[in-house]
Amino acid sequence: MAIKLPFIKSKQAKQSPEISTENTPKHIAIIMDGNGRWAKNRGLVRVAGHKEGLSSLMKIVKAAVKYEVEILTLYAFSTENWKRPKSEVEFILRLPKEFLEIYLPDLIANNVRINVIGDMEKLPEYTREAVQYAIDRTQNNDGLQVNFALNYGGRHEIIQAMKEMYTDLLDTKLTIDKIDEQRFSNYLYTAQMPEPDLLIRTGGEKRLSNFLLWQLAYTEFWFTDVLWPDFQEADFSLAIDHFQQRNRRYGGLSN
């Protein structure tokens, strides 16, 4: 199906007026990096970049809806981000509330379902309440699912999964011979979700930073130098176009 899109001007990517939703990635994961540098380049304080990042976030959510993406997983705050200055941590953790206060009606209008992956318990109450409200308000929506990765770490997730699995073994709800990759996946935050088809990292770094370590085993990667606050629908389209041309073999041979 081809959907007509308005022409979008971007320094980094040219937008074709047509998009193809054929062979669109079902699940896209994004590491939204470069906010601090974006602000520094403009002589602003780092957190100004995080704030600007919110409008990119909404633009990309809307683009994902157009592309008929099923799941968008966004790395918003990692288990390692606590090492940042307290004031920056607090600022970032206030962003979900701010984002949802502005955009929740728009998300609902776009049939988006909000979800969180990560260790919510350690988040401040204002973050948990705002996110939980959005989860509840959108739970019956059946369009794009947006996973906010908040206080998320891939290693932490695997250890948590292992502990839960071990508890089930002790409680004899599970036996060792039943453990396989599929069974293990069901203990992860992403249980029942398809694994990401495409990972986008903005901001020029080429690393995973402890994101979805288990789930990215066969994901296609797209790295771009564009800083997250500059990331536009046209850049997102470019990543998808590239994905659509890839030949995924999952360790086998091409057809």
Active site residue 225: no
The minimum distance between CB 99 and ligand FPP, in angstroms, equals 4
Residue 29 bridge partners (DSSP): 73, 199
Could you tell me where the beta strands, DSSP code E, fall in 99-211?
A: 113-117, 145-152, 198-201
DSSP for residue 215: T
Does an H or E element contain 221, and which? strand 220-223
Is 118 among the annotated ligand-binding positions? no
Cα Rg, the chain, nearest whole Å = 19
The distance of closest approach from Cβ of residue 98 to ligand FPP in the complex, given in angstroms and rounded to an integer, is: 8
Tokens read off for 41: 């380049």
CB 21 within 8 A of CB 68: yes
Name the minimum Å distance from CB 148 to ligand FPP: 4
Nearest CB to ligand FPP, comparing residues 125 and 171: 125
Candidate list 13, 15, 29, 36; residue touching ligand FPP; CB under 6 A: 36
- Residues of span 204-233 touching ligand FPP by CB under 6 A: 228
> What residue number has its CB nearest to ligand FPP?
36
Residue 123 φ then ψ, to 5°: -80, 150
Is 128 a known ligand-binding residue?
no
Q: Which of 24, 35, 190, 219 binds ligand FPP (CB under 6 A)?
A: 35
Among 95, 144, 200, 234, indicate the residue that binds ligand FPP (CB under 6 A): 95
Determine whether 33 is an active site residue.
yes
The verdict on whether residue 214 carries a ligand-binding annotation is no
Q: Residue 229 carries which side chain, given as an amino acid letter?
A: P
Would you count residue 116 as binding ligand FPP (CB under 6 A)?
no
Judged by CB under 6 A, the number of residues near ligand FPP is 19
Shortest CA distance to 19 belongs to which of 221, 247, 200, 241? 241
Both structure tokens of 239: 């990543």
Active-site positions read 33, 81
Annotated binding site for Mg(2+): 33, 220
